[in-house]
A and B are shown apart, each in its own frame.
Chain A
Amino acid sequence: MSNPDLYGVLGRFEHPDALLEAIAELRKAGHSRLEAFSPYPVEGLSRALGERSRWLTVAALVGALLTALATYGMIWYSAVIDYPYVVGGKPLHSWPPFLLLAFVLAILAAVLVALVGMLMGNRLPRLYHPAFNVAAFSRASDDGFFILIRLERNPEDVERLRRRLDDLHALDIQEVPA
């Protein structure tokens, strides 16, 4: 029987290619509850895990367009309807400068959507994570490439997972307390 307070089993690899191979093997063997950690973005890692996400670019674009429309609408309302005031003989609806402001604020919105979307998608800020309980995990921000196999809800044979990681030549194999 496994310990109910166990989050998963962690193994370290020296090289990103070994990490990618191990993930492919584990997925072939039917493990789906995998997490991988690397100190820099490794090409193809999220594809290997099957967790691509594409919505951020679309969200930024939509945010930018909506903000542009809202800005233009606000300026048009204030300059034409609510506070009509002729300056320098220019028409009330002076669209070139209005477009400029709509463009600038659209960029502002896209920047904020990208930053906030990245943080929210990644569930950050979140200061605690079970992996931080393992001392060796500090190498994930230095030179270590890690795989974490999360345990299923039903009791699982931890020894079997350890052996499997060992077969894949993982180092520092450790149980991660929840």
Chain B
Amino acid sequence: MTSTQDRLLPAGITFASMTRRISDLVLEERAPLGWWIGVVICAALTLLLVGALSVLFSVGVGIFGITIPVAWGMPILNTVWWIGIAHAGTLISAVLLITRQPWRAGINRFAEAMAMFAIVCAGIYPIMHLGRPQFFYYLLPYPDTMGLWPQWRSPLVWDFFAIFTYLVFTASFLYMSLLPDLATLRDRARGWRARAYGILAIGWRGSAAHWERYEKANMIMAALATPIVVTVTGIISLDLAVSVVPGFHFTIFPPYFVAGALFSGFSTVALLAVVLRSLFNLEDLVTRVHLDYLGRMMLLFALIVAYAYGQEIFTAFYTGEDYYRTVYFDRWTGPYAPIWWSMIVCNVVLTQLLWFRRIRRSPIAMLCLAITSNLGMWLERFQIVFTSTHADYMPSNWDTIWPTGWDWAAYLGSLGLFGLLLLVFVKLTPLISLHDMRALIASRQQEEGDS
């Protein structure tokens, strides 16, 4: 165990040196050039999102490629994709906390932040897709003058509550994790910044009683994280699975979606780990060992996803139903076939490289695989949403729909928003959780003392 931790931490690290180094990134040092370039690009893309939303809300959803029979199109596909990315942030933080994994400390902060901002991006799309976004509150049970109640049997109502719960959970968990670190920044900053961090830290002093309740609350939240993750993506998959559309109506959907979500989420954590460690020179705190572990998680969930693909194909043919088989022949040879085959290359073929330790430990290889995996998961969501509905029971209904320029503008814009929020966040708060890191350093000192 000691040897693992030694590789997770640089030699000679102390509480004081670690605190100074990480908090100076926020308080003292100028942002690196790469950060500024990233912010400019992401801000421009965010403006694109604002523009696309303005046009959307003034013209209507007709500007998107969501014409019947493909009524859901890119907005729903992007919701599912973003929520999936959020999931690994939650799981990394919570499950690794419960199982007391030492490799959590280096990466949990930006994993949690990633979860938070991914949910923000995911939450935009259902509102966009509503057509009349000003009426979204119809989903709430409120005493309205028409005497109406929400349709509780509709997965879209479940969605609303699940995503809202997930948003509240993620924000609470992120703030809990930040609280002691905000106190550190308060104690080290001067002038107005000390006051600002002081207000955010709400008087945290790290007393024994504070920590006692803090740890208890943290464990409660961590224990809730797994049911939340499974429920949120499970419910989103039910949007599709409870319908009778041939490509949607599979009982395997909830676990299949959860595995896919975790696969893309771990890929995104790996992507952020590689980018942030090189941007802020944190190669000794976010180490190749961390990348190795992330790579193993990606491989695990890629294999589960591959199994789900196989299982779905088996089910389609085993039912003996013409419509199910037709969907599959259409996926393999129809107008969207390139999407299906690219998905297989990204998610099933390329991920096999993760069996090799050298690949998992190479930042550049992990960066490439993280990008292809996220692309693969996006394509997977694409083929589920588009191929299933574009040709269902009635040939007279069949049509081939492609996303429009506005779809792409909104998608690129949400990528920009995510990047912008994340870059600003890592410059305003410690990029590595200081108190978790101190606990890791302390446990190493303990072991050195014992041996």
Query: Which residue numbers of A lie inside 8 Å of B, CB to CB?
Result: 16, 35-42, 45-46, 48-49, 51-54, 56-57, 60, 74-75, 78-79, 82-83, 85, 87-88, 90, 94, 97-98, 100-101, 103-105, 107-108, 110-112, 114-115, 117-119, 121-122, 124-129, 131-132, 138-143
Min C-beta distance of A108 to chain B, whole Å: 4
B172 on interface, CB distance cutoff 8 Å: yes
Residue of A nearest to B181 (CB): A141
**Chain A residues with CB under 8 A of B169:** 107-108, 111
Chain B residues with Cβ under 8 A from A104's Cβ? 158, 161-162, 165, 231, 235
Beyond A87-B153, A122-B214, A126-B203, list 4 extra A-B contacts (CB 8 Å).
A16-B442, A42-B442, A100-B235, A111-B172
A110 and B153 alpha carbons, distance in the complex (Å): 24
Q: Specify the chain A residue showing the minimal Cβ separation from B231.
A: A104
- B213 adjacent to A117 (CB under 8 Å): yes
Identify the interface centre among B148, B157, B442: most chain A CB within 10 Å of its CB.
Answer: B442
Tell me how far the C-beta of A43 lies from the nearest C-beta in chain B, rounded to whole angstroms.
9
Chain B residues near A45 (CB, 8 Å)?
A: 208, 211-212
The answer to whether B216 touches A56, judged by C-beta atoms less than 8 angstroms apart, is yes
A54 to B150 CA separation, bound complex (whole angstroms): 38
Contact A126 B202 (CB under 8 A): yes
CA distance A126 to B199 in the complex (A): 9
- Contact, CB under 8 Å: B208 / A38: yes
Could you say which residues of chain A place their CB within 8 Å of the CB of B211?
A: 38, 40-42, 45-46
Q: Does B152 lie within 8 Å of A98, measured CB to CB?
A: yes
Separation of A39 and B23 alpha carbons in the complex (Å): 14
Across the two chains, which residue of chain B brings its CB closest to A113?
Answer: B220
User: Are B206 and A100 neighbours in the complex by a CB distance under 8 Å?
Assistant: no
Nearest chain B residue, comparing its CB with the CB of A90: B153
Contact A36 B162 (CB under 8 A): no
Does B227 touch A at the CB level, under 8 Å?
yes
List of B residues within 8 angstroms of A83 by Cβ: 147-149
A99 CA to B435 CA in the complex, in Å? 38
Across the interface, do A52 and B168 meet the contact criterion of CB distance under 8 Å?
Answer: no
Find A41's partner among B188, B198, B231, B439 (CB 8 Å cutoff). Answer: B439
Closest chain-A Cβ to B219's Cβ sits at a distance in Å of 8
Interface pair A141/B439, CB less than 8 Å apart? no
Q: Are B227 and A107 in contact (CB under 8 A)?
A: yes
Q: Does B28 contact A (CB under 8 A)?
A: no
Can you list 21 A-B pairs with a CB-CB distance of less than 8 A? Answer: A35-B207, A40-B436, A40-B442, A48-B208, A49-B209, A97-B158, A105-B161, A111-B169, A111-B221, A114-B224, A117-B213, A124-B202, A124-B203, A125-B202, A127-B198, A138-B188, A141-B186, A141-B206, A142-B187, A143-B14, A143-B16
Complex CA–CA separation, A105 to B231 (angstroms): 11
The contact of B214 among A41, A107, A112, by CB within 8 Å, is A41
A162 and B165 CA atoms in complex are apart in Å by 51
Nearest Cβ on chain B to A154's Cβ, whole angstroms: 24
Chain B residues lying within 8 Å of A112, measured Cβ to Cβ, are 168, 172
Q: B161 and A118: CB pair below 8 A?
A: no
